[in-house]
Amino acid sequence: MSEYRNESRANAKRERGAVLPFVMVSLLVLFAFAGWSTETGRVWQTKSQLQAAADSAALAGAGSLLSANFTTVDEGAARTAAMAYGAQHVALGANLTIAAADVEAGSWDMASQTFTPLPGNTDPDVMRSVRVRARRDENVNGPIETILGRVLGVDSISVGTDAVAEWGFAGSGAPGIVSLPIAIDCCAVSGPACDQNYCDTISNMPPNPDCEPLPNGEEVTCLEFFSTPAQNACWTAFQTDSSAVSVPLMTDIISNGNPEEIGADPIYLDNGTKTPVVQDIKDKFEAEGSDTNGDGIVDSWVVTLPIVECQNPGDQCATGNTQQIVGFLCMDIREVLVTPEKVIKGDFICSTDPRCDQPGFGPGGPMIGTISADYPVIVN
């Protein structure tokens, strides 16, 4: 019996000895998992706080990059604003500093989703974006000191992120912002591929050069309306879910502007003479326009119109067609003819012209040189 008990004790010791290594390994695994979980949580918290700082700084930088009339670029002002806004943030208890080298001005390509830094560029139609990097590493703000990670030989972790903000061109419009139920083809005002600077195009190659001049001999652009798809400006009621482009809908727009926000979805277009609509436009031109030379005749009325994606080649202003709004422009209407032809004569004007000071536009338009959005947005 005594021998049996001794053997049992020996077996128990051997079993405990065999289990102990597994217990130690399990404890190490649990400790490592706890350390990994703790440090990962701290890293994600820090990254989230750094992202908020980068977003804020990038928006502030983009908001200060261009002058109030979008004619000049000030990289220094953008950098100062970005650094100031970034410094208002904290990441894992550390007051942040945005390094001057981590603020870059340049351009943003929406199609490829890429930012290109352009230091020293002074073109306000190109320099529209600011990229900001917010970080905690050995060079800026110091890395995150670990808690349990030190046991595993990791004393600190570097974390960084960035953001790009762009002050783009208008791609959407608030209710009431558009003056007339008319849409302009992009290819008519921005080159055959709709990729040229709008201001340069209308200055060097005014649309519809064969238009009949004004009575004083001044050359102008004509918007002509007739019952074929080939007319050079389209009617629209800004409907996105119905192809109805009726006279009542359009005359209401002449009185009150577009009833809802536009730009997010393609709008239906139409052609035709629409004589009552042209007459309403003439009446409003004479009621709200100006007499610029004092001869008692109204000769100027600046209106805002949407630009739609190119329709040529292909049907132009065909009934039932939908097209996406890609920008907005200003036109100075000089004369409206109702009989016999239906023609609106005037000049397309650059968005930097003081007459084109039009608020109420959101970002998203790809057309360079058209009306600018009212505010910058984060694009990356």
**Is a pLDDT exceeding 70 seen at residue 25?**
no
d(CA 14, CA 20): 10
Residue 2: predicted pLDDT = 53
pLDDT tens digit sequence for 40-52: 888 999 999 999 9
Residue 231: predicted pLDDT = 84
**Locus of tokens 């890293």:** 43
Residue 150: predicted pLDDT = 64
Residue 229: predicted pLDDT = 73
d(CA 56, CA 290): 43
Residue 152: predicted pLDDT = 65
Pairing mode of beta strands 159-166, 377-378: antiparallel
Residue 17: pLDDT band by 50, 70, 90 thresholds? low
Residue 228: pLDDT band by 50, 70, 90 thresholds? confident
Mean of the pLDDT values across residues 15-26?
52
Phi, psi of 77 (to 5 degrees): -65, -40
Mean of the pLDDT values across residues 96-110?
96
- Is 347:334 a contact under the CB 8 Å cutoff? yes
Residue 42: predicted pLDDT = 87
**Locus of tokens 């783009």:** 168
pLDDT tens digit sequence for 193-212: 888 999 999 998 888 877 89
- Is 189:348 a contact under the CB 8 Å cutoff? yes
Please report, as a single letter, which amino acid is at residue 286.
Answer: E
pTM of the model: 0.84
pLDDT tens digit sequence for 275-325: 999 999 999 999 999 999 899 999 999 999 999 998 876 677 888 889 999
Residue 249: predicted pLDDT = 96
What integer best gives the mean pLDDT of the chain? 89
**Region of residue 194 (left: phi > 0; alpha: psi -120 to 50; beta: else):** left
Please report, as a single letter, which amino acid is at residue 87.
Answer: A
